[in-house]
């Protein structure tokens, strides 16, 4: 019996174009101070550009890019 696992990149590429609810965790990431890092409802790390929102806040983001371990998105809405 063969069991094929989908690669993390292939799974993450399937999220491109979707809108995910993100809870923001940190304003800076390892690679940029101009981004926020958060997690979506599936506990995936999502990186978004900095904006007028803060740690602990929920935002909705459209997923634009994917790597094997991180999704990258653009904010489409947030509550002030």
Nearest to 24 by CA among 40, 8, 3, 2: 40
Nearest to 70 by CA among 30, 52, 6: 30
Distances (CA, A) of 73 to 3, 6, 29, 33, 79: 32, 22, 14, 16, 17
pLDDT in tens, 18-75: 999 999 998 876 777 899 999 999 999 999 999 999 999 999 999 999 999 999 999 9
The secondary structure element, H or E, covering residue 8 is helix 8-13
Is residue 77 within 8 Å of 62, Cβ to Cβ?
no
pTM of the prediction? 0.86
From the options 3.40.50.920, 2.40.50.140, 3.40.50.300, 1.10.10.10, give the CATH code of 16-78.
Answer: 2.40.50.140
pLDDT band at 1 (very low <50, low <70, confident <90, very high): very low
């Amino acid at each position: 019996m063969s069991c094929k696992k989908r690669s993390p990149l292939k799974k993450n590429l399937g999220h491109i174009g979707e809108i995910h609810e993100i809870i923001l965790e940190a304003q800076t990431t390892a690679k940029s101070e101009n981004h926020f890092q958060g997690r979506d409802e599936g506990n995936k790390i999502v990186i978004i550009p900095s904006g007028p929102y803060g740690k602990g806040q929920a935002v909705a983001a459209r997923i634009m890019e994917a790597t094997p371990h991180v999704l990258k998105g653009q904010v489409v809405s947030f509550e002030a």
